[in-house]
Amino acid sequence: MGFIRKIITVRSKGEDTFYNDLSKILGFKPKNISFYQKAFVHRSIKEFDKTTGNPLNYERLEFLGDAILSAVIAAHLFHVVPSGDEGYLTQMRSKIVSREHLNELGRDLDLLRFIRSNVILSNFGENVHGNIFEALIGAIYLDRGYAYCEKFINKRVIAPYVDILKLEGKITSYKSLFIEWCQKKKKDLVFEVYEDSGNDVVKHFSVKLFLAGELIAKGRATSKKKAEEVAAKRAYYAFQNEITIS
């Protein structure tokens, strides 16, 4: 007489909490929890695979998740906007998967609560939210495949956030827009960047934006690129009427 052996997976209290909380976010139960655990390991932990010696952190999963997210969004846009040409579809996809939007998604899901790191959470830059969101998608793909990634992205990204009409009017880069306007109007534009750590633990950069030699805006952020974008956004709103009319 045969018998069926029931295999019981024993998890610690912390692992059980992680499993249950993650299941609520995903909308399904993970099969291989180790993929998801790796999705929240920061490189500062400095863990390595005992067999291969490869680092164990979320960066490779982030790369994978980024590619899958881009593919799912591209397919969605291809079907819902049949009149859109390649340039339009590319621009719309960029707006949906922008770093700002991915960071918002990661924050909304409170993914940072799961991260394992030797870096104090307050010292992380904003992009960590989007990075681990992409890593999570990579983990879903390894655990469940493309179809589950598609369902998750539809539930967490497309359904609540993708509104074609709103996205068409969304500005993704104030810096690019302001530079384009200056070139059109033949106005000289200069960004003057300098390090400005102040009393902050994390390094900051400040930017002065000059138009035709006149200081018109300032910006401050944790990277030169972000600081320039902040300054450009302020300059855009200062000259919005002229930019809109022209």
CA distances from 33 to 16, 47, 52, 172 (A): 10, 17, 20, 36
- pLDDT 10s digits, 215-244: 989 988 888 888 888 888 888 888 877 776
Can you give the pLDDT at residue 145? 97
Q: Which residues pair with 207 in a beta bridge?
A: 193, 219
- pLDDT 10s digits, 25-61: 999 999 999 999 999 999 988 888 888 888 889 999 9
* In the chain, where the domains are located: 13-168, 174-245
- 108 in catalytic set: no
Q: What is the mean pLDDT of residues 184-204?
A: 77
Please pick, among 47, 49, 62, 66, the residue that the annotation labels catalytic. 66
Helix-helix angle 127-144:146-153, to 10 degrees:
140
Please pick, among 134, 143, 150, 229, the residue that the annotation labels catalytic. 134
DSSP three-state, residue 163? coil
- Torsion of the alpha carbons at 44, 50, 53 and 57, rounded to the nearest 10: -30
From 13-17, 108-112, 126-130, 203-207, the region with the lowest mean pLDDT:
13-17
Same CATH fold, 174-245 and 13-168?
A: no
Distance CA 76, CA 80 (A): 6
User: Torsion-angle region of residue 27: left (phi > 0), alpha (psi -120 to 50) or beta?
Assistant: left
What superfamily in CATH does domain 13-168 come from? Ribonuclease III domain (1.10.1520.10)
Can you give the pLDDT at residue 6? 45
- 192 in catalytic set: no
Query: Class of 174-245 per CATH?
Result: alpha beta
From 1-10, 14-23, 80-89, 184-193, the region with the lowest mean pLDDT:
1-10
Exposed / middle / buried, residue 153 (Cβ in 10 Å: 0-12, 13-18, 19+): buried
Q: DSSP character for 120?
A: -
